[in-house]
Structure formats: C-alpha cells, structure tokens
C-alpha cells in the first residue's frame, strides 16, 4: 500500500520504522537522526539529480525523492539481499522518481545522468575509487556526502575530497533516544556515532 504523503509532517527524518528492514536483525538503515543531517548537507532542490550509492533499504533514496520531487534519484546497490527491501520501500512511498540500479560503484555509475547531490552510505571497499570518479561527474555547485563510522577513514575521506578540489567539512552525529523502562521511567539509549563528511563544488 502506498503511504499517504498528506500525513507526513516532517520535512527531514522519517521514523526508522516507516521503512521495511532486514529481519530478524534490524539496523541496516541510515538512522533518522543521521539521515536528517545527511539530507540537509546534500543541499537538495526540487529538481536535483541524486546518486544514492550503497542505497541499502532505500531510506535516504525515498526521502531524497520526496524532497527532489521534480528530480531523479538513482539508488545504486550491489547486495542482492537488499534489493527486495529497496524495491518495497520505493513502492510503498510511491517514489516514482527513484530508479534502482543493481550493481557495484563506480562501474554502475557510468551511464547515469551527472548528479547534483551524491550520498555514499556504503562503498564495498571502493570508497576512494568512487570519490575519484564521482568528482569528475559532479555538477557545478554539487555536493558529495559520505557517512562513516571509523575515525581513520573519516580523516582520509576529508583529505581526499579536499585534494579533489571540494570544500570539505566534517560533522559527527552522536544521538540518544529515550527508552521506556518497565517501571515507566525513561532512560537514554545511545546510537552508534556517525561521521558525516561533505564536500561541495563551487562554480
């Protein structure tokens, strides 16, 4: 069933449980708090062309498509286990401007329109090559946003984006969520911190 978009009140950061996820083990999704900051950092317009590399279950793709509703979102995913979930989430949100690309970046990017915004949520160990290629295709004023969990890779990515001529920035998102206890009290449960590295191209 297609979601009723008229009921959506948030412009960024749909709830995690609004998306189909891998079961019985959930967690393979860009968390709401990280997703909201990442989408903001992407600088999306209504007509943006977006590449979501390592799309996973498609939470970033779907939200990007709702914002860039006159644009196109290309969801690139190499893991065939994720493709049914990705397809289901795109369908249930009625995101007709999302195009699923089954394949591995950077090779799978070659025939796509040049992007205004790129999100890298997974790289399959090819992050350096993906960034090298993506920068050659990025439109003027375009932005690349990378989510990382490891500090060393964060530093490497920041340096690489700078070397490639982009204006780079790093943000860490370390959020906690309230969890109700059996006695009715609420405690905070920490989420894994995520580093968001962004790079913007000027005119």
Does the pLDDT value for residue 3 go beyond 90? Answer: no
Cβ neighbour number for residue 115 with a 10 Å cutoff: 26
The architecture CATH gives domain 13-171+178-200? 3-Layer(aba) Sandwich (3.40)
Judged by DSSP in three states, 105 sits in coil
DSSP 98: E
Burial of 27 (0-12, 13-18, 19+ CB in 10 A): exposed
C-beta of residue 64 within 8 angstroms of C-beta of residue 203: no
The continuous run of DSSP H or E covering 33 comes out as: helix 32-41
Judged by DSSP in three states, 61 sits in helix
Of the candidates 139, 4, 14, the residue with the CA atom closest to the CA atom of residue 67: 14
For 129-153, the pLDDT digits (tens) are: 999 999 999 999 999 999 999 989 9
| pLDDT, position 6 | 42
Mean pLDDT of the chain: 89
What is the pTM assigned to this prediction?
Answer: 0.88
Task: Report the chain's terminal Cα–Cα distance, integer Å.
Answer: 42
CA distance 187 to 115: 42
| pLDDT, position 7 | 46
For 71-86, the pLDDT digits (tens) are: 999 999 999 988 999 9
For 38-72, the pLDDT digits (tens) are: 999 999 999 999 999 999 999 999 999 999 999 99
What lies within 8 Å, CB to CB, of 24 at 6+ separation is none
């Amino acid at each position: 069933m297609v979601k009723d978009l008229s009921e959506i009140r948030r412009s960024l950061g749909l709830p995690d449980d609004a998306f189909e996820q891998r079961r019985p083990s959930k967690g393979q999704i860009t968390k709401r708090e990280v997703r909201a900051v990442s989408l903001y950092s992407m600088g999306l317009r209504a007509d943006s062309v977006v590449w979501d590399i390592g799309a996973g279950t498609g939470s970033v793709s779907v939200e990007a498509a709702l914002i860039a509703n006159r644009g196109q979102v290309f969801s690139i995913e190499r893991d065939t286990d994720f493709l049914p979930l990705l397809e289901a989430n795109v369908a249930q949100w009625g995101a007709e401007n999302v195009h699923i690309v089954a394949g591995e970046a950077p090779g799978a990017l070659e025939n796509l329109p040049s992007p205004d915004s790129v999100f890298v949520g997974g790289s399959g160990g090819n992050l350096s090559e993906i960034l090298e290629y993506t920068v050659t295709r990025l439109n003027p004023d375009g932005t690349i946003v990378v989510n990382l969990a490891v500090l060393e890779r964060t530093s490497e990515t920041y340096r690489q984006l700078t070397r490639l001529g982009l204006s780079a920035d790093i943000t860490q998102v370390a959020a906690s969520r309230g969890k109700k206890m059996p006695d009715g009290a609420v405690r905070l449960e920490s989420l894994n911190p995520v580093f968001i590295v962004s790079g913007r191209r000027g005119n």
